[in-house]
Amino acid sequence: MTKDDFIMPFAGAPLDHDEEGRTMEALNGHLQNKDCEAVLFMDGRPAVNEQGQLWKIHPNELKGTNVAEPAPVFLGLNGKTPVFAFSLADDQAVIPKEAFQEMRMIAGRMPADDLAIAGRGRALFQWFHHHPFCSACGTKNTVMNGGLYSHCDNCNRDHFPRVNPVAIMLILRGDHCLLGRSAGWPDGAFSALAGFVSPGESIEEACIRETQEEVGIDVRNVKYVFSQPWPFPSQLMIGLTCETEQTDFTVNTNELEKAQWFTKDEVKAVFAKQSEVFLRPPRFTIAHQLLRHWISK
Ligand SMILES: [Zn+2]
């Protein structure tokens, strides 16, 4: 699937990260640009207006405000407009506290561009907030180039914000698809199986191992479909299909509460809102997009 077909939620940010041009001088120049935009976060929650759009202010409006490190994070250039992100402390009143919303709650109604910008900001802040010290020697890191990476002045190591790869797969048997659910999910909710890629294995091997671990099914013919940046806290979801001839499965209850085969017609009916045989994953998830891709073929 190409970028022209659709934009994966959280992807498609209209930002040039400008990795080469992030000198202190350039960043200070951006901050003085009259069109410069600041997007705001509090504990990973972006500030949005009533329409679900990112709440944007000029960084100058934050003068005197107590912002969390690192500050500011330069997200990139949107055309010629520099876009920065700031993480505010709880007691700040630059904008109403109610504007800061849980991203999962508002992701479904945010404009695609804003969702992608918010996801990038959230993932970066989560990483910097949880990695203030050098993982090798424990010295306080220095944030470099407007939040491109961290540097340890003591042992001279660079630390880059980490992205964790996750294999997420539709297990297909002819026109059937196996979906699972975890305990605590909303009633009737089912989704694609998924698991972190482990050191020493390929994406395909992660898919084969996870399906064996979670439902005891041997799969083959693993195919990549598309991927998604997922800012909870910072995964790269790698969307796959795989095939099996096996009908019977064994649910590993340490991982899943239940799994179930659904036919393509059943999934189509759910997506057409003509059936409630299961509750589909939200539109902003890659599981939703994988299922939509499968039933469109
Ligand atoms: Zn160090």
Indicate which CATH number applies to the domain containing 253.
3.90.79.10
pLDDT at 130: 95
Give the rounded distance of the alpha carbon of 278 from its chain centre.
Answer: 24
Tell me the C-alpha distance between 200 and 96, whole Å: 47
Tell me, what's the pLDDT at 2? 45
Cα 141 to ligand 1 centre (Å): 8
Contact 193, 210 (CB under 8 A): yes
Calculate how far, in angstroms, residue 88's C-alpha sits from the geometric centre of ligand 1.
Answer: 27
CA of 40 relative to ligand 1 center, distance in Å: 30
Whose tokens are 């899943």? That residue is: 256
Q: By C-alpha distance, which of 54, 103, 105 is closest to 83?
A: 54
Please tell me the total count of domains within the chain. Answer: 2
Query: Rounded CA gap, 296 and 290, in Å?
Result: 10
Final residue of a domain: which of 108, 130, 152?
130
Helix pair 264-271, 286-295: axis angle to 10 deg: 120
Q: 278 and 179, same structural domain?
A: yes
- DSSP-derived 3-state class of residue 204: helix
Task: Give the H/E segment covering residue 31.
Answer: helix 24-32
Q: For residue 154, report the distance from its CA to the centre of ligand 1, in Å.
A: 5
CA 143 to ligand 1 centroid distance, Å: 13
Do 198 and 280 belong to one domain? yes
Q: How far is the CA of 212 from the centre of ligand 1 (A)?
A: 40
**Distance from Cα 70 to the centre of ligand 1, integer Å:** 18
Q: Which two tokens stand for residue 258?
A: 């239940």
The answer to whether residue 261 sits within a structural domain is: yes
Q: How far is the CA of 287 from the centre of ligand 1 (A)?
A: 39
Closest CA to 120 of 80, 92, 148: 148
Residue 190 lies in a domain: yes
Same-domain status, 197 and 262 = yes
Q: Are residues 99 and 185 in the same domain?
A: no
Q: How far is the CA of 142 from the centre of ligand 1 (A)?
A: 10
Closest CA to 245 of 266, 222, 217: 217
Q: What is the domain range of residue 43? A: 24-130
Ligand 1 geometric centre to CA of 150 (Å): 10
Written as tens digits, the pLDDT of the chain (297 aa) is 444 567 899 999 999 999 999 999 999 999 999 999 999 999 999 999 999 999 999 999 998 888 888 889 999 999 999 999 999 987 666 888 899 999 999 999 999 999 999 999 999 999 999 999 999 999 999 999 999 999 999 999 999 999 999 999 999 999 999 999 999 999 999 999 999 999 999 999 999 999 999 999 999 999 999 999 999 999 999 999 999 999 999 999 999 999 999 999 999 999 999 999 999 999 999 999 999 999 998
Distance of CA 84 from the midpoint of ligand 1 (Å): 27
| C-alpha of residue 126 to centroid of ligand 1, in Å | 20
Dist CA 106 CA 283 (whole Å): 12
Identify the three-state secondary structure at position 293.
helix
Whole-number Å distance, alpha carbon 125 to ligand 1 midpoint, is: 20
Q: How far is ligand 1, taken at its centre, from the CA of residue 138, in Å?
A: 6
What is the pLDDT, as a whole number, of residue 55? 96
> Same domain, yes or no, for 109 and 228?
no
Do residues 169 and 250 share a domain? yes
- Looking at the domain assignment, is residue 135 inside a domain? no
Residue 15 lies in a domain: no
Report the separation in Å between the CA atom of 221 and the middle of ligand 1, taken as the mean of its atom positions: 43
Note the residue count of the chain.
297
**Ligand 1 mean position, distance from CA 135 (Å):** 7
Nearest-angstrom CA–CA distance, 172 and 159: 40
28 shares its domain with 120 = yes
Distance 163 CA to ligand 1 centre (A): 21
Query: Would you say residue 9 lies in a domain?
Result: no
CA of 78 to the centre of ligand 1 (A): 34
Instruction: Note whether 7 and 112 are within 8 A (CB).
Output: yes
137 lies in some domain:
no
* Ligand 1 center–CA 196 separation, angstroms: 27
Q: At which of 114, 130, 146 does a domain end?
A: 130
Instruction: Please state whether beta strands 176-181 and 193-196 pair in parallel, antiparallel, or not at all (unpaired).
Output: unpaired
Taking the centre of ligand 1 as the mean of its atom positions, its distance from the CA of residue 149, in whole angstroms, is 14
Residues 66 and 189 in one domain: no
The C-alpha atoms of residue 22 and residue 99 are separated, in whole angstroms, by 30
* Cα 140 to averaged position of ligand 1 atoms, centre (Å): 8
CB within 8 Å of 169: residues ≥ 6 apart: 192, 193, 194, 207, 210, 211, 219, 222, 239, 240, 241, 242
Ligand 1 centroid to residue 151 C-alpha, Å: 8
CA distance 172 to 110: 32
Please check whether residue 65 lies inside any domain of the structure: yes
- Written as six digits, the tokens of 244 are 């099996």
The answer to whether residues 184 and 72 belong to one domain is no
Please check whether residues 173 and 282 belong to one and the same domain.
Answer: yes
102 in the same domain as 57 = yes
What separation in angstroms does the CA of 187 have from each of 133, 155, 193, 200, 281?
Answer: 42, 51, 17, 37, 12
The token pair at 9 is 């939620």
Q: Are residues 68 and 188 in the same domain?
A: no
Give the pTM: 0.94
